[in-house]
Chain A
Amino acid sequence: MHDDDHLRFTDLIRTFGRLRVLDGVSGTVSAGELLLVTGANGSGKSTLLRCLAGLLNPQSGEIVCRIDGEEVDIETRRRTVGWIAPDLAFYGVLSAIENLNFFAKLRGVDPARGSALLKRMGLPPGRAAAALSSGMRQRLRWAFALLHRPPILLLDEPLQNLDAPGRAVVLELLGEALDYGALAVVANPDPLEMPHVARRLTLGG
């Protein structure tokens, strides 16, 4: 990671039909920092994160991402981010470890990393993803997001459904990621009691 690594978005506009969800949203977050995006339901938090991840194109505006001192294109950005979202799902017939091994192979990561993350998350590796509780599924999303030690973390409602020990583990992992130089954008309807928050952005207000 380089000190000048950052994610900057300027004047993002995104509409769905006649509904303008993002109306000139701007912000920036640097390596080792966490940007907390808050706002009411429907204010565009998830849309903003999807645009930043490269899963959705804004109609106008600019997203600039620098990783390891180099500006990267949308394809690289998409492959690089660690992503958590409420609608992120896994293959239900595969076990938690089979899901992580599959994504590890796609990302060229040692499968041992997946096992280590599952152990730390306290997840039963052999249980089918479809048989996980909502809290366990959220832990699996965290393991998926951190699998490849991403330089960018885009986390949409990352503490949803987690119990107190679960929150403690994921916040510890988030802190470690920020320590190694990752940057994070966290979206949540309410201001979270989160450590590491360096910047704040409120949408729809």
Chain B
Amino acid sequence: MWRDASRWAAESYALFVKEWRTEWRTRHALSTVALFAFTTLVVTSFTLGPAGTGSAMRPVLPIILWVILLFASTAGLPRSFVHEEETGTAAALRLSAGPFAVFAGKFFYNLTLLLALEVMIVPLFLVLLQVPVADPMRLMLAMLTGGWGLAAASTLIAAMVGQTQNRGPLFAVLAFPLLLPLVIFAVRLTWSAIEPSTAPLAVDPGLMALRLLLLYDGSVTVAGLMLFPVIWNP
């Protein structure tokens, strides 16, 4: 069993390194994701100004942040499997790696890409819109758990889209129901980092959102690992 686990980990790691190496040389996903996120952020900050200082606009800010992250990721992440199919490398990958390792390698690549995006975007967002963060730990948890769920769901959807002919609209159709709950929970948790609740811990809406996010992340990751072999192999 340990031998299987170590082989699985080695395959996933090799795929993860390959993904970053090819991405670093082409910068397809990085440039798409970063360009979309920066443009949206700059337009938002020019339009709204220091929205974080006034209480009227403040509840909208976590929504704006997650809409930026969601759309930036959907602009870049779905390419991973489509590119393998379109360039003809998918057959070599199918014959060389187990499906679990392929899912894990692609997932960790998507996750690190998203976390890198968050590291670039979130501090800028906070500074440009002058958003006060009362609980930085919660904000970090929101970014981590939200990023995990977004990466896992995107990897799974991208794998499904890669197997179809009509790829463009399908990602949006599949992503909407799968990502909607994630974004709602992530917005609630982010809001609780900006405006902490005075409610007791047992009914704290932020903690409730964190629990739901963790549940979502676990469910989507396990579902991805279970479904992926069926989607990936004939």
Q: Give the B-binding residues of A (Cβ under 8 A).
A: 53-57, 75, 78-79, 81, 83, 85, 87-94, 98, 102-103, 105-108, 144
Contact = CB atoms under 8 A, between A and B. Distances in A.
Contacts of A103: 92, 96
Interface stretch (B17-25, B107-115, B121-129): B17-25
A92 B91 contact: no
B91 A102 contact: no
Contacts of A90: 89, 92
Given A56-B234, A103-B92, 6 more contacts: A78-B95, A87-B91, A89-B88, A91-B22, A102-B18, A105-B14
Interface in B5-22: 7, 10-11, 14-15, 18, 21-22
Contacts of B7: 108
B26 A93 contact: yes
A85 B91 CA distance: 10
A2 B94 CA distance: 26
Given A57-B234, A93-B22, A88 B91 contact: yes
Contacts of B233: 54, 75, 78
Contacts of B21: 94, 98
27 contacts: A55-B94, A57-B234, A75-B98, A75-B233, A78-B95, A78-B233, A83-B91, A85-B91, A87-B88, A88-B92, A89-B89, A89-B92, A90-B92, A91-B18, A91-B22, A92-B87, A93-B26, A94-B21, A94-B22, A98-B21, A102-B18, A103-B92, A103-B96, A106-B15, A106-B96, A107-B96, A108-B7
Contacts of A89: 87-89, 92
Interface of B: 7, 10-11, 14-15, 18, 21-22, 25-26, 87-89, 91-98, 101, 233-234
Contacts of B94: 55, 78
B91 to A, nearest CB: 6
Q: Which 7 A-B pairs have the closest CB atoms?
A: A89-B88, A105-B14, A106-B96, A93-B25, A106-B97, A57-B234, A103-B96
B234 A55 contact: yes
A28 B98 CA distance: 27
Interface secondary structure of B, over-half rule = helix
A75 B98 CA distance: 8
Nearest to A148: B96
Contacts of A85: 91
A122 B39 CA distance: 48
Contacts of B91: 55, 83, 85, 87-88
Contacts of A91: 18, 22, 87, 89
A144 B92 contact: yes
Contacts of B26: 93
Nearest to B96: A106
A106 B14 contact: yes
Q: Most B CB atoms within 10 A — which of A54, A78, A81, A144?
A: A78
Contacts of A98: 21
A54 B95 CA distance: 9
